[in-house]
Amino acid sequence: MDEIRAEQLPDQESWFATFDVLNGAKPRLQILADYIAKYEEPDSTYMTLQGHPDSLESRVTAYIFDEVGDSSATIYANNMIYFEEDRRFEAHGNVIVLTTDKKRLETEFLVWLEVERKVQTEGFVRINTPTENIQGYNLDADEDLENYQIARVTGQAVVEDL
């Protein structure tokens, strides 16, 4: 039993930590979490990031930066998992994404693919922008939510006359 327990323990732990991913000298991702556990497995290295387990208000916050290092979006979630080799993270539980141009996305599960600069959801998603209030399923979008596809869409949008 001790061997099994030892295999399940993280290789590193940090409390009230900041995790940064750089693209050269420019920031690409910064995550703030109350607890980070890093696991180094033979086939992958990943981190779990969590808010404080005794607080409903404590959330994990991720700041995404564009290719020139400017802020692109902020993601809030109950917890996240970052997969180093794949350079992607998964956000779980009451996920909210806010972009710099006043777009808001809400879902329960979101995948961010760093290299492709994409976000995806498998379930229900709601997007509010200055001109749209829509909801649907299975979002596939660029990370700043400029272009996106959603299945089974319902909602309201302002249509411009040409």
Residue 136 lies in a domain: no
Q: Please state the φ and ψ torsions of residue 5, each to the nearest 5 degrees.
A: -60, -40
Residues forming beta bridges with residue 79, ordered by sequence position: 50, 92
- Residue 33: what pLDDT? 92
Residue 155 lies in a domain: no
Count how many domains the chain has: 1
Residue 87 lies in a domain: yes
Token output for 94:
């009451």
pLDDT tens figures, 76-97:
999 999 998 888 989 999 999 9
- Residue 4: what pLDDT? 53
The verdict on pTM exceeding 0.75 is yes
Residue 142 lies in a domain: no
CATH number at residue 103: 2.60.450.10
Q: Please state the φ and ψ torsions of residue 6, each to the nearest 5 degrees.
A: -65, -35
Structural domain boundaries enclosing 45: 2-119
